Amino acid sequence: MTSHSISADLRCVFNGRDQLGETPIWCPRSRRIWWIDIEQPQLHAYDERTGQHEVFDFRDRASFLGSLALHRQGGFLIALDTTLYRFDPADGTLDKIVEIEPASAGTRLNDGRCDHQGRFWVGTMDAAIEKPLGSLYCVEPDGTARRYFGDIIVSNSIATSPDDSTLYVSDTRRYKLWAFDLDARTAEISGQRVFVDYETLAPGRPDGACVDAEGYVWNAVYAGSRVVRYSPQGEVDRVIHLPTTNPTCVCFGGDDLGTLYISTATKAIAPEIFANEPWSGALLSIRPGVRGLPEPMLSLIHISEPTRQEA
């Protein structure tokens, strides 16, 4: 299908000038949009009905807040540095789930998303954004963190198809978005293939992604000023052109799941460009004419000694 721009009705939801805004998540329980600023590190919530904005600050606990997901038992799963926690915004409590990698590894947790079986897929990355120190993991409902493969510089674009038969993962610094065959029952992956090669689609590289109700993949193109919708075969379906250099992630939300939210970043934008981008670092939205699926939630049973294991 020929690509086309659908950016005419793009709007700014909230402009906090985030340094590295990421991972917007629509929470149906609170009817609010939530997102993170990775390097501050902060968790944000915004209610479009009332205009209420709330910030949860983790600077006294961590250097990075890398991931965010809904927790079925209430609250959120958040990734602080190399460890996953359950966070309850009502009282501010943090309960440790599992340390994915030791702090001495020189890595941190980055993008992650739940599949429809209640598992959490998450990647690590080189904290210095230089070496292939990162890996892909899956956290099972019993708290076990299973490692699949390494050699990742910056993990991103983690998402699954509506039937959990396909897993999407990218390495932002390698400019590759991959697709894997996924066994929804066993969480085994196979058949790695290049879904989109961004080396042939300059400018920009793959960042956060989500999948809509039709099974199409929406990918934020960091340093590329656009969000792209791809067919399940990896063909460009449509393009949203943005007045911001660094879109970072996308999700569907709103009561009808018909709003696409787009997080953005101010990081690494030259001052002369930044001066002309008032929406850089803002949370944006658009009504693209398709709907998403309810955001999957982590289903975690009570655990006492979470462990890591190799695949």
Residues taking part in catalysis: 207
Q: For residues 98 and 79, give the distance between their C-alpha atoms in angstroms, rounded to a whole number.
A: 10
Strand pairing category for 42-47 and 259-265: unpaired
| Cβ proximity of 41 and 80 under 8 Å | yes
Main-chain dihedrals φ then ψ at residue 199, nearest 5 degrees: -65, -20
Q: How many CB atoms lie within 10 A of CB 185?
A: 8
Q: How many CB atoms lie within 10 A of CB 74?
A: 12
Inter-CA distances, 264 with 41, 99, 217, 247, Å:
15, 28, 18, 4
| Cβ proximity of 143 and 97 under 8 Å | yes
- Tokens of residue 151, six digits: 């050699």
- Tokens of residue 143, six digits: 């708290």
Inter-CA distances, 294 with 71, 100, 254, 256, 290, Å:
13, 26, 10, 10, 13
Q: For residues 139 and 21, give the distance between their C-alpha atoms in angstroms, rounded to a whole number.
A: 24
State which amino acid sits at residue 178: W
